Structure 1
Amino acid sequence: MRNLIVIIFITLLVGCAATQPSFSVSVDSLASPIAATKKTYLLIPGNKGVSHNDLQFQEYENYLKRVLNGRGYIAASSEEDADLAIVLSYGIGDPQKQQYSYSLPTWGKTGVSSANTYGTATTYGNTTSVNTTTTYTPTYGVTGSTNHTGTRTTFFRYVLITGYDYTEFKQSEKEVQIWTTTVSSTGSSGDLRRVFPVLMAASEPYIATNTGQKIPVSLSESDNTVKIIKGQAVE
């Protein structure tokens, strides 16, 4: 029985390892009535100290451009051609440790499924004696549970994409926000490079729109929408 439990446990571990993790993402977007009229954009880094020469920004910029191109936006060839300035900001929070508890079943004998009795008879003169032996076949199952505690570390990952009326800025230097989309997720991965394409894929249907509320989205890295954002071939 102990060997059987070990085999079951290993099977569960292998199954979990073969399954792509799912990312729970939240998308929250606001837009003004003129948002849909501004489509030719400049993309600007929003993080302090980050320039267009930053390699990480360039990687994330390419992911966002695929989202924007799919939504009908056009990258401006010059500042004069742009009517929209899009500011891209991103980050990841400090690790947060959370304690959790769980119980595991304990296994053992739960009863008897059958009993077999056999014996031998010995005769001495007029006297006969019988020796018997009974064997029992036990049943096994859950006999109870044991409580355990563990610690889980999570990270808050976010992307903020904001569109400004660049035509107005060129005329008056006023920063008029016409839409903003916030994409966030909390999970065990502290690797923003890994999570960023998933966040972008989740934002694609909602970017520069008015969602009216936070929209929950669940995606895995093997989803075609994520592959498209990464520039990979899809099946």
Structure 2
Amino acid sequence: MESARLITLYLLIIMLSGCTSTYYATNVDSLAAPDATQKNRYILLPGMEEVHEDDLQFMEFAKYVNKILQQKGFIKAPSSDSADIAIALSYSVGDPEFYNYSYTVPTWGQTGVAASNTVGTVSAFGNTATYSGTTTYTPTYGITGSQTHTGTDILYYRDVRLAAYDLTSYSESQPMRQVWISKAYSVGSSGDLRKVFPYILVSMKNLIATNSGKKIRVTLKENDKAVQELLTP
């Protein structure tokens, strides 16, 4: 499953990066109708039945989405009457799941002796002589073995979706036509969607209103410039 591969990537990032950096890996999948680029005046609505426009969480996320959409050239319409499309924003975070993992780290040490050098002196006393010397050995180093480490991680499935529907051809007799849809999900140790949402959204940005042809994996560092700009008021 794709989610299993994403979990494997997440654990690999943990092992390679140590404690110095945090990475956010997101899978993005987008589909678009041929006329998607012709419709850029939008209204933004919740895509979940239980969430309304005055929901504080939706309002916070909508602020980021509006900023991204306007960077992409979309224009926020004052009402549905002057809009080409209605964009539905959906998001969720799953229950925590526990995963055991293990990884092997090589150990480094002396593997042998590359060369030796002896330095000494001879002292003569009458008919006898004594020798005093010191031998210096040059060791070689390399991989001498390995150590296996194990651990347990708590992972969360995070999902964000933007779907655009044509308002210009809407009528009560037929459902709204979907113009484009961008779906993104990630797996990580944080179940705080408020923290992760900006990273998922920035990962989606270049694929919004396009046809990606396949799922695209995007990895961002915690200090990603585009994310920091998105968070700036």
Amino acid in structure 1 at the alignment position of 2:51 = V
What is the rounded CA distance, in whole Å, between the counterparts of 1:103 and 1:218 in structure 2? 24
Percent identity for Structure 1 against Structure 2: 42
Q: Secondary structure at the match of 1:30?
A: strand
Correspondence for 1:214? 215
2:80–2:86: 8 Å Cα contact kept in structure 1?
no
Residues 145 and 36 of structure 1, relative CA distance in 2, 3 Å threshold = closer
Report how many residues are paired.
Answer: 215
Judge conservation of contact 1:109–1:138 (CA < 8 Å) in 2: no
Distance (whole Å) between structure 1 residues aligned to residue 166 and residue 80 of structure 2: 13
Q: Which residue of 2 aligns with 1:192?
A: 193
Residues 145/56 of structure 1: CA separation in 2 closer, same or farther (3 Å cut): same
Which of these two proteins has the greater Rg computed from alpha carbons? 1
Q: Which residue does the alignment assign to 2:42?
A: 41
Aligned-partner Cα distance in 1 for 2:102–2:54 = 46
Runs of 5+ in structure 2 lacking a partner? Answer: 1-16, 121-129
User: What's the RMSD between the two structures over aligned residues?
Assistant: 3.1
Name the aligned partner's letter for residue 59 of structure 2: Q
TM-score by length of 1: 0.74
What letter matches 1:150 in structure 2?
A: G
**Counterpart amino acid of residue 38 in structure 2:** T
Structure 1 residue runs of 5 or longer lacking an equivalent are 1-14, 119-129
2:7 corresponds to? none
- Looking at structure 1, the residues matched to 84 and 112 of structure 2 have their Cα atoms a distance apart, in angstroms, of 78
1:70-85 paired onto structure 2 within 5 Å: 70-85=71-86
Larger deviation: 71-80 or 144-153? Answer: 144-153
Which residue in the other structure is 2:224 paired with? 223
Are residue 164 (structure 1) and residue 168 (structure 2) matched? no
> Aligned ranges for residues 5-24 of structure 1 at < 5 Å?
16-19=18-21, 21-24=22-25
Output aligned runs, 1:144-183, within 5 Å: 144-170=145-171, 172=173, 174-183=175-184
* Residue 140 (structure 1) shift: 9.0
8 Å CA contact 2:31, 2:212 repeated in 1: yes
- TM-score (norm: length of structure 2): 0.75
- Contact residue 64 and residue 230 of structure 2 kept, 8 A: yes
